[in-house]
Chains A and B, each alone.
Chain A
Amino acid sequence: MSEIYAIRCTNCGGSLNIRGGGRVTTVTCEYCSSVLDMTAEYKVLSQFQDKYRPTVPFKLGMVGTIKGVEWTIIGWVSYKTTDFPVERWSEFFLYSPLYGYGWLIYEEGILSFSKRVRDFSLLKWQKNKTNKMPFFRKSHYMLAEEPYNIEIDFVQGELSWVAKANDTIRCWDYNGPNHKSLTVEKSANELESYLNERLNNKEIYASFGVKQEDQVEEELSTIDSLFKEDTLEASDKSRKSFLMQMAILIVVIALTIGYSFVSSKTLFETDTNQPFSQLIKVDSSAFLSKIVIKAPTPAILDTLKFGIYNRDSYVFTIDKNSLNSKNGNIGRTWDRGDDEVTIYLKLERGEYRVRLNMSPPLDAYSKIKVVIEEKVVRLTYLLIVLALLLISVALSYKSNTPNNGSQSKSQYLWLFFAAIFGYVFFGFYILLFIGAFYMIASYSKDAENLWDNDDD
């Protein structure tokens, strides 16, 4: 703990305790809010009277441990942003005889430790302020928001600089890894950089002896409250575990869906110069069937008539003049000069007869290639994958969640339901995606290549 000595305020005579080291230069009287110059016989430099006084859980003289070091709160500054919406927070000036000065930052229940860092190159930063990703102590930091201006709202106790009510400070905040951030502050006289680190409220309140009724907790979002653990590290682990599971799930489903669009089973394939009639069997109605007809020349393609039929009647037919579909006229046939046509059709599950006719007959050297493919990955496979992943996620949560109290159990349940909700939500979007694909496919150029039916 630091040494304490007491003086009298030169303005109002109130008693002031001086706690903090050789670098403090001012002390602000808690009774009359006069800022006294400790380097010039405590003459009054300015006053903060009638200024807003925030309600905070900490007060001057409190002693606590942060990062394994004992600190004494020797000063208190409240800041506010100058732009709308106005944000306010308090910074408590800390002193340790071993580690010098630091700041305990309090903002709406969030606690952080901040310490000036000298090894961040402010000269380089000044040269390249547009760099939104400075590198510091082996980590990248990213500009969190546009630079903003702040001014002092309230001050009390000792500081290592002269606080003035109308002084404006411009700040640049950069977010880094592991709940760390970097702040560059530019005032009229100084340019400084600070490294900030999120703290665990429970530990800090206990260490500084903050009464239970004075302790303020951060208002967590629903998602954040799901992952809240006793320590920041444990919360991170819980969140990372969930995100990892979701990432794996999304990748697997995306790969499965992607594969479904490129994978296919060939139902029928032939190279022929003769008319044919062939039975095919479609196993699934989940995806489109693809039909490719390729002729040696456009003139030969124009001699062809192709049709698919079920027991009762045609499903669709196509030739150079027209197409006809059981579901109505959905487009036009191929263009003059084409020697190949690709058709996507939604065929219901069942048996079909495929017929190819040509008039006049082809010579022996002209071959027509006809390929009919069915997509092989079905929605049911996706559901199986989802079910398997859901089970694996549930098992993972069970193994990762400490089974030592009702809070953990309720968290486990929340996570489990959140996961199910996530999967259902994601599945809904998959269905939307598939529906959109059908819609687009129905109106695609290839679909337009279907021609009017001249079926018997």
Chain B
Amino acid sequence: MMKDIMTPFKSINCPQCGDTLPLYFAHAKIAQCESCQSTIFLEDESARLAGHSSVLAPEPSLIELNKTFKYEKKYYLPVGMVRYSYGRGFWEEWWLKDDNQDEYWLSVDEGDMALEKLVPNEDKANIFKTAKVGQPVGSNWVITEIDRGKCVGFSGSLPYEIVEGQKHNYIQLSGYDASIKTIEVDPSGVRTYIGKWIDPFAIKVV
């Protein structure tokens, strides 16, 4: 399992420095070269240089790029990360691959962790116009947070294009079974994620 999860879907060479760039998902849209920090757009079979991206300041974190961790009997490999700022601090969204080759997002905010999965979107962008904290949505959800994040950088590979400074609005909802739902909107569209809060002490870095 450990060997499988570490095996990239394919590897390309960085168009800037030529170093090997492992890609873990076929639908990755953007990647950052670890050697030269170039941002590379991935288009079908080609890789296009988009420019040089800033290097994120290293922050202490339980989760590290390309380092497998275990949670509830499953292994996860972080293949990409976006860091968002909320002014006084930041939070990180990690793109993960599990040992079944499924993809997840892990949100890490000062020790609070939520593991979510992208689901078919049933919500429209105009939900942001009327949403209020405490407002029920359907019979299972209640809005618990509405905010905006600003991308301060990324590393690894991601399934959608993102640029530094790009802002996205999000709504966080809590479910009656302690589940979590996040609806976010940015220039690339509306995305919905559903998952659960996880105990950071239950994460074991392998």
Residues of A whose CB lies within 8 Å of any CB of B are 21-25, 38-39, 67, 96-102, 115-124, 127, 137
**CB atoms of A22 and B90 under 8 A apart:** yes
Which A residues lie within 8 Å of B178 (CB)? 118-121, 124
Hey, which chain B residues are within 8 Å of A124, CB to CB? 176-178
A116 to B110, CA, bound (A): 12
- The reply to whether B112 and A119 contact each other, CB–CB distance below 8 Å, is no
* Contact flag A101-B196 (CB < 8 Å), given A120-B178, A123-B175: no
| Selected A-B contacts with CB under 8 Å, 28 pairs | A21-B110, A22-B86, A22-B89, A23-B109, A38-B88, A67-B201, A98-B62, A98-B111, A100-B111, A101-B110, A101-B111, A102-B111, A115-B111, A118-B112, A118-B114, A118-B178, A118-B197, A119-B178, A119-B196, A119-B197, A119-B199, A121-B178, A122-B174, A123-B142, A123-B174, A123-B175, A123-B176, A127-B176
Closest to B141 in A: A123
B61 contacts the other chain (Cβ, under 8 Å)? Answer: yes
* Residues of chain A within 8 A of B88, CB atoms compared: 22-25, 38-39
Given the known interface contacts A98-B62, A99-B200, the answer about A21 and B177 at a Cβ–Cβ threshold of 8 Å is: no
Per the 8 Å Cβ criterion, residues 163-206 of B in contact with A are 174-178, 180, 196-201
Contact for B110 among A23, A38, A120, A127, CB less than 8 A: A23
Instruction: Name which residue of chain B comes closest to A20, CB basis.
Output: B110
Task: State whether A99 touches B61 (Cβ < 8 A).
Answer: no
B residues neighboring A (CB under 8 Å): 59-62, 86-90, 109-112, 114, 142, 174-178, 180, 196-201
Q: Which of A38, A96, A118, A124 is packed against the most chain B CB atoms within 10 Å?
A: A118
- Complex partner residue of A100 from B90, B174, B175, B200, CB under 8 angstroms: B200
Which 7 pairs between the two chains have the least Cβ-Cβ distance? Answer: A22-B89, A100-B111, A118-B197, A100-B110, A121-B178, A97-B60, A119-B197
Q: Are B177 and A99 in contact (CB under 8 A)?
A: no
Q: How far is the CB of A51 from chain B (nearest CB, A)?
A: 27
Residue of A67, A99, A120 touching B111 (CB-CB under 8 A)? A99
Most chain B Cβ neighbours within 10 Å, of A120, A122, A137: A122
**What's the Cα separation between A99 and B61 when bound, in Å?**
8
Q: Are B176 and A96 in contact (CB under 8 A)?
A: no
A223 to nearest B CB, angstroms? 32
Q: How many angstroms between the C-alpha atoms of A23 and B112 in the bound complex?
A: 11
Q: Which residues of B contact A97 (CB under 8 A)?
A: 59-60
**B196 to chain A: closest residue by CB:** A119
Chain B hits for A96, CB < 8 A: 111
Contacts of A101 in B (CB 8 A): 110-111
Q: How far is the CA of A12 from the CA of B112 in the complex (A)?
A: 35
Shortest distance from the beta carbon of B163 to any chain A beta carbon, whole Å: 23
Q: Which residues of B contact A137 (CB under 8 A)?
A: 199
- Give CA–CA (A121, B142) in the complex, Å: 12
Which residues of chain A are near B87, meaning CB under 8 Å?
39
| Given A98-B61, A100-B111, A118-B112, A23-B89 contact (CB < 8 Å) | yes
Q: Please tell me which one of the listed residues B59, B111, B112, B177 contacts residue A121 in the complex, with CB atoms under 8 A apart.
A: B177
Smallest CB-CB separation from B60: which chain A residue?
A: A97
Q: For A25, A98, A117, which residue has the most chain B Cβ atoms within 10 angstroms?
A: A98
**Distance in Å from the Cβ of A119 to the closest Cβ of chain B?**
4
Neighbouring B residues of A120 by C-beta, 8 Å: 178
The distance from the CB of B131 to the nearest CB of chain A, in whole angstroms, is 17
Find the B residue at minimum CB distance from A123: B176
**With a CB–CB cut-off of 8 A, which chain B residues contact A38?**
88
Bound CA–CA A127/B180 (angstroms): 18
State A137–B72 Cα separation when bound (angstroms).
12
**Closest-CB distance, B190 to chain A (whole angstroms):** 24
Instruction: For the complex formed, measure the closest distance between the CB of B193 and the CB atoms of chain A, giving whole angstroms.
Output: 15
